[in-house]
Structure 1
């Protein structure tokens, strides 16, 4: 499922911006399909414009019936009546998604024979302080089994003792959900931490869900700003 909102707060209409001759959302949809990992790939949107460009290439679209605050809410509505077990959320601004990373989070559920894991997601090491301190970069800290402890736009862990070595991880906005966790997310109200940070993954933690983080070294480019789009166009060439 690829949630696709037209009016992004930081970069309106970013999904319809040109990337190598096609809109960003089309590039992301094609990348997801080309991994050949999924039974079905859908774009879930509230935008007729986005719906039309995906339909024009023969893609599958689900139109949202309600207004949603997050991509997870949008996907939950879309899959509520579907007979599915695992749902993958690929953000619409991720045209550089790769099969290797996606397969890693799918494998988390194949190995989870006790069905204890609610979600899996991706993280990648970062070392440049400019990126670590950037509030547009969501960071995650994990326990010794790589379960998420917290997500933040602030640098975590805070470097109080600069002599202690720590790896900083950027959270990549790609999730794999058990359907039941997604349905819980839909019915549970937003709490303070999620509202403060504006990070939907925090809601799962606030309600005690287990999020398994998987490390990947494929960074890609998430298109959050016009500057990101400029970088993406250079890489695409």
Structure 2
């Protein structure tokens, strides 16, 4: 099994410019992501960036990085660009979010394991049980419903399913909800195909890129995790991450 991890890292960010270079306890965020990814069962971990400052920084701490176009509309497109530049052949490509400095290697390995099957999936991602009403009703934490074999049927920022017979305050008592964790895995041939798809109606409505793939007939297999991570999107998130590090 030849699995490669690619970490898209963009310098520009509306809420937190220069996010990959933010200091977290003496290491940059991107350095922590790389360190976590290297503990997983990956043959190679590469940062895909559009910025020379990030490229230089990654190489300085001993990481591998490639410079991609600044015009890519998504991390998926940036990953395909990087993969082509590397000139290698892999069984699966793992998209590791560059703003998840505490990603668990076991979560990466759970996706890699799916591609070791006799019939590997086209695409794969992680899901996690919803444990609180705050999670369930937060539009920032997409939910997902699955078929009996564990393939995603639909993703939404709204809780799914809607329980007509129960009050929303009781929904968690009557159904096991799942939320989406934004770690993706692709077969290389499928990655090439999905980067050529135009934005879809469902994707634009929910602002969730994975709906484009479902709408075009691709299947997304899921693996379940109970491990929590800390995503960094705002200055407040940075402070929470620094506080977490002091408690470890």
TM-score, normalised via structure 2 length:
0.88
Q: 2:204 aligns with which of 178, 195, 201?
A: 195
Tell me how far 1:66 sits from its aligned partner.
4.9
* Counterpart in the other structure of 1:174: 183
Question: What is the deviation of 1:226?
Answer: 2.7
Equivalenced residue count is 234
User: Distance between the aligned counterparts of 1:185 and 1:49, measured in 2?
Assistant: 29
Question: 1:95 Cα deviation (Å)?
Answer: 1.1
SS at match of 2:44: coil
CA shift digits 1:13-62 (9 cap, x unpaired): 32222211111111111111133x11111000101221121111011111
Q: Out of 113, 128, 134, which is 2:132 matched to? A: 128
Contact conserved, 2:91 with 2:115, CA < 8 A, in 1?
no
| Distance apart, 1:122 and its partner CA | 0.7
Deviation at 1:106, TM superposition (A): 1.0
For structure 2, the 5+ residue unaligned runs are: 1-5
Tell me the SS of whatever aligns to 1:173. strand
How big is the shift at 1:123? Answer: 1.0
Of 123-132 and 212-221, the range deviating more from structure 2? 123-132
- Matched residue SS, 1:154: coil
For residues 152 and 180 of structure 1, do their structure 2 counterparts lie closer, same or farther at Cα, with a shift above 3 Å needed? same
1:107-146 correspondence to structure 2 within 5 Å: 107-111=113-117, 113-115=118-120, 117-146=121-150
Taking a change above 3 Å as real, the CA distance of residues 169 and 9 of structure 1, as seen in their structure-2 partners, is farther
Q: Distance between the aligned counterparts of 2:14 and 2:202, measured in 1?
A: 20
Work out the CA distance in 2 between the residues paired with 1:10 and 1:160.
37
User: C-alpha root-mean-square deviation of aligned residues, in Å?
Assistant: 1.7
How far apart, CA to CA, are the structure 2 residues paired with 1:121 and 1:178? 12
Kindly indicate whether the alpha-carbon contact (under 8 Å) linking 1:20 and 1:233 is maintained by their aligned counterparts in 2.
Answer: yes
Candidates 89, 93, 99, aligned match of 1:93 = 99
SS at match of 1:74: helix
CA distance in 1, matches of 2:17, 2:160: 29
Distance in 1 (CA, whole Å) between partners of 2:138 and 2:236 is 14
Secondary structure at the aligned position of 1:235 is classed as helix
CA distance in 2, matches of 1:95, 1:149: 29
Report the Cα distance in structure 1 between the residues aligned to 2:63 and 2:229, rounded to whole angstroms.
23
After superposition, give the CA deviation of every residue in 1:65-121 in whole Å (9 maximum; x if it has no partner): 35111111110112134322210110001111112222111111112x134x21111
Change (3 A) 1:160 1:50: farther
From 101, 106, 125, the counterpart of 2:112: 106
Q: Distance in 1 between matches of 2:142 and 2:29?
A: 21
Q: 1:14 aligns with which of 13, 19, 33?
A: 19
Take 1:14 and 1:175, find their aligned partners in 2: how far apart are those partners? 21
